[in-house]
């Protein structure tokens, strides 16, 4: 030990005598089992050696008191006391101690979460008291249960800590707790600052929302409940870090604990004074601020900078290691930040194609009368001319991000050229208007593409309708099925004058199962246009496609029978959906074998990635039911981007739409032969014609 002492003294010869003595004493005391008695003895020994160093020199004191016994005896301790320090008797088991600490840490997490959850129940009670004239002390059963559970756990937490007082620890366990002291002390100080900032910004923002936003109390309450998590999370962190800091300080009593209390008080006072000054300044100069919430947000950024400066300067006085770089934790945090941040960025609405959309003129078209039945959700279009033209588009796949801007622009430009070339009375899109998968489009947002295409069609002035595709509401998309349904309702005919989206839909499987009746000028039924949801995935695996269910088929059949009964004859109908029926595969295989059971009209099936015809593995009853009823003479779908063949099978025309997609399929942006649309022309005698329009034929 003497050699080690001399080596250390040589290494630290440039330090102050106080630091030299502190490190010298630590060489001997750090190997002793930890106890508060040893901590106190270490402090007295350091004071004794400092006095001896002042009387002579550090070198002389180190030479005279070069062992633990000499140091401690000089400080007034007996040999028996010194031997007692060295004794391993009563030292807590290292493994059990750490295991018990981890259990206490989990209790702290649960207690904090329960108290934070109780906060919303308190706010709910206050809201009831103020806005609903309920009793102020009314607490819901859930709130009472949460609070009671938190208090019971807190009592158990404190009881366990009381039993742990005055324990002795070996060196490794002591160092573990000392490291924890640093960790939770730093976190608690930051939690105090975060709690002050979050509370003031939250309250300031809500008051600004109410007083400057001309909002009603109900709207304020809704906004408060929606944003309450911004206070709940800091509250959780504050309670958790307070409990864990107290836990560690109860286990090991370090000299820095007194200084820590001063820092905690100091940062609390600074935070309170800072935010009071911000509030006061906002009230004094409120007439100069159009939206005071921005003042609180900017003040929050400045406040955060102050805390960062404090962390790098003053805080090091109460820590052994002010900053510890943990590669694994850094990697995990950065990965989580990148994933979460990336998801937030890719879920945002962006409108990079809007300047192009705004530049488009109205496309001339017939001014047909459109009516909507509020009870059935059926749109009726009365054609002014003998012919009624329907342009069939499919798989437009708008990404809606800056990464997909080029492809989105090309897709919209292609749609415009096809519409401007044909001047249709109605546009029908059979699914996959958007692509919120985040892989090719770098976007999970499925609302911006809808807004963009609705704006696009509104500018052109052409009525349009659509069926859902499998990509329109992917599992990671920003909007779920119900939310996207509300978006479409907000953009529908009463608002836009172009989107024929039903506000009322039949209670069957899927979304947007609708009927559009096309009538002649004299009011007679010409054709029923059925838009049926082929649904997306079954949930039984990756890309296991769904199908048109029996209740949807029953609804279709009932509407066909209703139209037939009204007209006194079999009314012609066409059906649009996204994922092809199994009969598309059957017809194609017959065509490939040269069978005369099918009639070829145009196009080719060029799919190669998965299946030539990518239909569901589950059969749908739609085709057979259509044959029985004898009304439907044509089916139209999309989904398979390189397929655009039109075949007649058992008297029914099965047509793939030419896709628009520039984004999804690898290399498809450069391919051209598969891109285009179909023009369906309904004649006044209910017959119809079909022409394929490749985009290359226009260009």
Q: Residue by residue, what is the 3-state secondary structure of 214-249?
A: CCCHHHHHHHHHHHCHHHHHHHHHHHHHHHHHHHHH
pLDDT for the residue numbered 618: 92
Q: Which of 543-552, 610-619, 634-643 has the lowest mean pLDDT?
A: 610-619
Residue 252: CB atoms within 10 Å: 21
pLDDT of 548 > 80? The answer is yes
Percent of the chain scored above 90 by pLDDT?
A: 47
Nearest to 574 by CA among 509, 653, 649, 467: 653
pLDDT of 30 > 80? The answer is no
The domains of the chain, with CATH numbers, are: 2-86 (no CATH), 94-324 (no CATH), 354-698 (3.60.21.10)
Of residues 149 and 530, the one with the higher pLDDT is 530
pLDDT of 286 > 50? The answer is yes
pLDDT for the residue numbered 350: 77
Distance between CA 10 and CA 7 in Å, rounded?
5
690 SS3 class: strand
Long-range Cβ contacts of 479-485 (<8 Å, 24+ apart) = 479/446, 479/447, 481/511, 484/446, 484/447, 484/450, 485/511, 485/512
Structure tokens at 128: 């009831």
Measured over the CA atoms of residue 196, residue 199, residue 202 and residue 208, the dihedral's sign is negative
pLDDT of 588-605, one tens digit each? 999 999 999 999 999 999
Residue 510 has φ and ψ, to the nearest 5°, of 95, -175
Reported confidence tier of residue 136, pLDDT bands at 50, 70, 90: very low
Polymer length in residues for the chain: 699
Reported confidence tier of residue 8, pLDDT bands at 50, 70, 90: very low
Nearest to 243 by CA among 148, 152, 158: 158
Q: Residue by residue, what is the 3-state secondary structure of 149-218?
A: HHHHHHHHHHHHHHHHCCCEECHHHHHHHHHHHHHHHHHHHHHHHHHHHHHHHHHHHHHHHHHCCCCCHH
Q: Mean pLDDT throughout 165-186?
A: 82
pLDDT for the residue numbered 610: 66
Reported confidence tier of residue 630, pLDDT bands at 50, 70, 90: very high
Nearest to 493 by CA among 461, 445, 515: 461
Q: Mean pLDDT throughout 674-688?
A: 96
Helices and strands, number each (H, E), in the chain: 23, 14
Q: Whole-number mean pLDDT of the chain? A: 86
Distance between CA 457 and CA 455 in Å, rounded?
6
pLDDT of 123 > 50? The answer is yes
Q: Residue by residue, what is the 3-state secondary structure of 538-601?
A: CCCCCCCECCCCHHHHHHHHHHHHHHHHHHCCCCEEEEECCCCCHHHHHHHHHHHCCCCCEEEE
Contact status, residue 696 vs residue 414, Cβ threshold 8 Å: no
Distance between CA 618 and CA 585 in Å, rounded?
13
Of residues 91 and 616, the one with the higher pLDDT is 616
pLDDT for the residue numbered 609: 65
Structure tokens at 183: 């960790």
Residue 136: CB atoms within 10 Å: 10
Structure tokens at 638: 């999309």
Nearest to 601 by CA among 676, 529, 678, 672: 678
Structure tokens at 524: 């007679």
Segment holding 680, helix H or strand E: strand 676-682
Distance between CA 60 and CA 44 in Å, rounded?
19
Residue 638: CB atoms within 10 Å: 30
Nearest to 16 by CA among 54, 45, 43: 54
Contact status, residue 86 vs residue 165, Cβ threshold 8 Å: no
Distance between CA 574 and CA 634 in Å, rounded?
5
Q: Read out DSSP for 349-408?
A: ---TTHHHHHTPPPPP----EEEE-TTT--EEEE-SSS-EEEEEEB---B--SSTTHHHH
For strand 646-649 and strand 632-637, is the pairing parallel, antiparallel, or unpaired? unpaired
pLDDT of 440-494, one tens digit each? 677 788 888 999 999 999 999 999 999 999 888 887 787 888 888 999 999 999 9
Q: Mean pLDDT throughout 313-325?
A: 83
Residue 119: CB atoms within 10 Å: 17
Contact status, residue 452 vs residue 357, Cβ threshold 8 Å: yes
Q: Which residues of 40-49 are buried (b: 16+ CB within 10 A; e: fewer)?
A: ebbeebbebb
pLDDT for the residue numbered 281: 85
Reported confidence tier of residue 289, pLDDT bands at 50, 70, 90: low
Of residues 572 and 538, the one with the higher pLDDT is 572
pLDDT of 664-679, one tens digit each? 887 889 999 999 999 9
For strand 652-656 and strand 632-637, is the pairing parallel, antiparallel, or unpaired? parallel
Greatest CA span in the chain, whole angstroms?
121
Contact status, residue 193 vs residue 271, Cβ threshold 8 Å: yes
Structure tokens at 533: 């949801």
Structure tokens at 685: 């005698």
């Amino acid at each position: 030990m003497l050699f080690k002492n001399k080596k250390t003294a040589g290494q630290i010869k440039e330090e102050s005598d106080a630091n030299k003595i502190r490190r010298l004493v630590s060489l001997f005391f750090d190997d002793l089992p930890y106890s508060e008695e040893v901590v106190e003895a270490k402090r007295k020994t350091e004071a004794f050696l400092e006095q001896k160093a002042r009387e002579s020199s550090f070198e002389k004191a180190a030479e005279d008191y070069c062992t633990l016994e000499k140091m401690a005896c000089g400080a007034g301790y007996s040999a028996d006391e010194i031997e007692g320090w060295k004794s391993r008797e009563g030292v807590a088991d290292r493994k059990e101690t750490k295991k018990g600490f981890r259990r206490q840490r989990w209790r702290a997490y649960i207690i904090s979460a329960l108290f934070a959850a109780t906060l919303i129940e308190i706010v709910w009670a206050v809201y009831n008291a103020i806005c609903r004239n309920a009793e102020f002390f009314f607490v819901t059963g859930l709130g009472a249960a949460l609070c009671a559970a938190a208090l019971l756990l807190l009592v158990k937490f404190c009881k366990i800590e009381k039993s742990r007082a005055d324990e002795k620890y070996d060196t490794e366990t002591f160092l573990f707790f000392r490291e924890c002291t640093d960790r939770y002390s730093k976190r608690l100080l930051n939690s105090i600052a975060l709690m002050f900032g979050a509370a003031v910004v939250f309250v300031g923002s809500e008051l600004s929302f109410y007083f400057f936003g001309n909002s009603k109390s109900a709207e304020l309450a809704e906004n408060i409940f929606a944003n309450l998590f911004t206070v709940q999370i800091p509250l959780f962190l504050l309670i958790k870090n307070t409990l864990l800091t107290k836990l560690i300080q109860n286990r090991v009593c370090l000299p820095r604990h007194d200084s820590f209390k001063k820092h905690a008080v100091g940062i609390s006072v600074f935070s309170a004074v800072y935010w009071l000054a911000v509030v006061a300044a906002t009230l004094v100069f409120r007439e100069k601020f159009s939206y005071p919430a921005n003042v609180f947000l900017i003040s929050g950024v400045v406040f955060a900078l102050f805390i960062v400066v404090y962390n790098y300067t003053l805080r090091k006085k109460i820590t052994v290691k002010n900053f510890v770089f943990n590669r694994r934790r850094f990697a995990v945090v950065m990965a989580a930040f990148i994933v979460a941040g990336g998801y937030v960025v890719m879920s945002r609405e962006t409108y990079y194609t809007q300047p192009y959309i705004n530049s488009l003129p109205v496309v001339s078209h017939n001014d047909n009368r459109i009516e909507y039945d509020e009870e059935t959700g059926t749109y009726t279009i009365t054609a002014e001319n003998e012919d009624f033209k329907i342009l069939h588009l499919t798989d437009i796949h708008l990404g809606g991000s800056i990464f997909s801007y080029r492809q989105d622009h090309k897709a919209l430009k292609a749609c415009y050229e096809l519409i401007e070339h044909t001047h249709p009375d109605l546009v029908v899109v059979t699914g996959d208007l958007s692509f919120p998968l985040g892989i090719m489009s770098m976007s999970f947002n499925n609302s911006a593409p809808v807004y963009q295409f609705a704006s696009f069609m509104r500018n052109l002035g052409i009525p349009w309708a659509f069926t859902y595709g499998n990509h329109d509401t992917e599992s990671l998309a920003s909007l779920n099925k119900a939310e996207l349904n509300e978006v479409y309702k907000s953009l529908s005919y009463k608002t836009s004058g172009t989107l024929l989206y039903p506000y009322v839909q039949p209670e069957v499987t899927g979304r947007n199962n609708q009927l559009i009746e096309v009538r002649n000028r004299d009011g007679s039924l010409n054709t029923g246009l059925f838009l049926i949801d082929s649904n997306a995935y079954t949930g039984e695996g990756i890309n296991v496609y769904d199908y048109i269910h029996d209740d949807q088929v029953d609804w279709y059949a009932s509407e066909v029978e209703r139209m037939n009964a009204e007209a006194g004859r079999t009314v012609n109908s066409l059906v649009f959906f996204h994922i092809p029926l199994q009969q598309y595969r059957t017809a194609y295989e017959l065509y490939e074998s040269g069978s005369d059971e099918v009639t070829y009209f145009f196009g080719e099936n060029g799919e190669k990635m998965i299946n030539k015809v990518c239909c569901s593995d589950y059969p749908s009853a739609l085709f057979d039911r259509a044959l029985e009823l004898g009304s439907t003479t044509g089916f139209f779908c999309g989904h398979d981007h390189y397929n655009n063949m039109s075949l007649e099978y058992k008297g029914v025309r099965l047509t793939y739409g030419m896709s628009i997609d520039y984004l999804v399929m690898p290399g498809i942006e450069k391919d051209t032969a598969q891109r285009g649309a179909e023009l369906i022309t309904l004649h006044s005698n209910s017959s119809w014609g079909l022409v394929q329009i490749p985009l290359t034929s226009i260009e």
